[in-house]
Amino acid sequence: MIRTILQRLALMGLILIGVMTVTFVLSRVLPGSPVEMMLGAKPTPEQIAQAEEELGLNKPLLTQYGLFLGDAVRGDFGESLITGQPVTDDVFLRATATLELVTLALLLALFVGLPLGVQAAVKKETAVDHAVRMGSVAAVAVPVFFLGLLLQMFFAGKLGLLPLQGRIDSGVLLDYAFPRVTGSYLIDTLLAGEIGAFASAVRHLILPVLTLSLASMATIVRVTRSMMIEAMQQDYIATVRAYGVPQKHIHYRYALKATLIPLLTVVGLTYGFMLGGSIIVEFVFDWPGVGGYMVQALLNNDFPAVMGVTFFIAFAYLLINLLIDLLYQALDPRLRKS
């Protein structure tokens, strides 16, 4: 087991180097220098030349790459040209915001999607099944930004119940002191014992989590349903049924187990995708996450930030895949033996 993990980690390292190399070359060969954006409104030619010298942009590409790798190995991606802050700080700040949002959205999707998928399979071709299927098709079909705006207009604009944007109320952020330990406001506010700030963070999470979870919830429902239907037709289910085991046990203890492997694949891929792909929800709700940072970095040719954020997303995606593969083995003894 340990050997497998070590092999996978080594492979991860190679993939990461490949991803970083391709991103480095692409960012350098595409037209446009980052210094114009970095220096503000009207830089002089001397200021531009000085900035290029400081950033090493006038050195040969290979030298630049060597310097980058040397720093990156030490976890130093340099300073963002747009924010002026160390990229690792920026990415940590943004990534923890995204992780909080995405993790909750996925948990909600599982919490609701799994039972719905099971019920749709069990009550196949009934009104329940039709309703669940139609609902899931609709959830996938509605564009995320549109759904986000609709929810904003209804819950914030019409009812005035929920906030429009941000992670926490402005005044609360000012008046409640809570140290940023994990970067998750829910955890950090609880650790600091600031219940008011915790409640404000929860309020701000409701709409973006709902928006982000709906599409993945629909996928989970569909996968669970189809896998359950397949499992219910297996011989071992007929045997269990013949033994007189209660229906609920058959569904959740025996049939659902068979859906876990494909479901895990979907969950893993969705989670990895959402880390970089929650950008639309982040924009609609002004969630200061990693997606918005990535777009800003790309649009402004912010080389250090592009490299830092690419590393984070690639690393997170590979790590999730590794964990999912390990979980396969934990769940299915056959895979362990092979």
Partner 1 sequence: MQRVFQIFWATGILVFSVVLGSIFFAPDRTRDAHTVVYATYGDIKDWDPAVAFSLEVMVLANIYEPLVYYDGRAGGEQVLRPALAKSWSVSEDGLVWTFHLREGVTFHDGEKLTAAAAKKSLDRTITLEKGGFYIWEAVSEIRAVDELTLEIETSFPAPVDLIASSQYAAYIYSPAAAEGGTEWFNQGNAAGTGPYRLRQWDRNQQIVLEKFDAYWGGWEAEQMTRVIFKIVRESATQVQLLLAGEADFLSLISVDLVSALERNPEIQVDYIPSWKNSQFLLNTQKAPTNNLNFRKALVHAWDYSTVANQVYAGSADVARGIIPKSLWGHDATLETPVFDLEKARQYLEQSGLAPDERKITIAYIAASEAYQSAAELFQNNLAQIGIEAELNPGPWGTIWDAAKNPASAPNAISMTWWPTYATPSDWLTGLFRTEAQPNFNLSYYANPAYDQLVAAGIQLEATNREGAIVKYQAAQRLLIEDAVAIFYADLKERVLHRADLEGVRPNPAYNTIFFYELRRSAPTL
The residues that bridge with 79 in the sheet, in sequence order, are 86
Work out the angle at residue 216's Cα, subtended by the Cα atoms of residues 215 and 220, and round it to the nearest 5 degrees: 125
Closer to partner 1 by Cβ: residue 168 or 215: 168
SS3 for 179?
coil
| Segment interacting with partner 1, rule: CB under 8 A, options 21-29, 126-134, 213-221, 299-307 | 299-307
| Segment interacting with partner 1, rule: CB under 8 A, options 6-14, 64-72, 160-168, 326-334 | 160-168
What tokens were used for 286?
A: 């002004």
Q: Which residue has the tokens 């139609």?
A: 134
Q: How far is the CB of 338 from partner 1 (least distance, A)?
A: 29
Give the Cα separation of 180 and 218 in Å (integer): 34
Contacts (CB under 8 A) with partner 1, residues 227-266: 248-249, 252-253
Does the footprint of partner 1 cover residue 203 (CB under 8 A)? yes
| Segment interacting with partner 1, rule: CB under 8 A, options 17-25, 83-91, 310-318, 323-331 | 83-91
Q: Any residues with CB less than 8 A from the CB of 42 and at least 6 apart, and which?
A: none
Closer to partner 1 by Cβ: residue 93 or 142: 93
Give the Cα separation of 2 and 256 in Å (integer): 29
Interacting residue with partner 1 among 21, 85, 126, 239 (CB under 8 A): 85
Interacting residue with partner 1 among 149, 237, 264, 269 (CB under 8 A): 149
Q: How far is the CB of 206 from partner 1 (least distance, A)?
A: 6
The residues that bridge with 164 in the sheet, in sequence order, are none
The mark string for 107-126 relative to partner 1 (x by CB under 8 A, - otherwise) is ----x---x-----------
Contact 65/21 with Cβ under 8 angstroms?
yes
Interacting residue with partner 1 among 140, 144, 164, 187 (CB under 8 A): 164
Contact 208/101 with Cβ under 8 angstroms?
yes
Does the footprint of partner 1 cover residue 88 (CB under 8 A)? no
Does the footprint of partner 1 cover residue 83 (CB under 8 A)? yes
| Segment interacting with partner 1, rule: CB under 8 A, options 21-29, 77-85, 214-222, 329-337 | 77-85
Closer to partner 1 by Cβ: residue 36 or 137: 36
The DSSP line for 71-132 is HHHTT---B-TTT-SBHHHHHHHHHHHHHHHHHHHHHHHHHHHHHHHHHHHHTTTSHHHHHH
Residue 79 has φ and ψ, to the nearest 5°, of: -105, 140
Interacting residue with partner 1 among 65, 92, 273, 283 (CB under 8 A): 283
Contact 100/208 with Cβ under 8 angstroms?
no
Q: How far is the CB of 104 from partner 1 (least distance, A)?
A: 10
Q: Which residue has the tokens 């030490």?
A: 74
Q: How far is the CB of 121 from partner 1 (least distance, A)?
A: 17
Contact 268/320 with Cβ under 8 angstroms?
yes
Closer to partner 1 by Cβ: residue 18 or 157: 157
Q: Which residue has the tokens 């896998």?
A: 227
Chain residues binding partner 1 by CB under 8 A are: 31-34, 36-37, 39-48, 50, 82-85, 93-94, 111, 115, 149, 152-153, 156-157, 160-162, 164-175, 196, 198-200, 202-203, 206, 248-249, 252-253, 283-286, 288, 292, 299-301
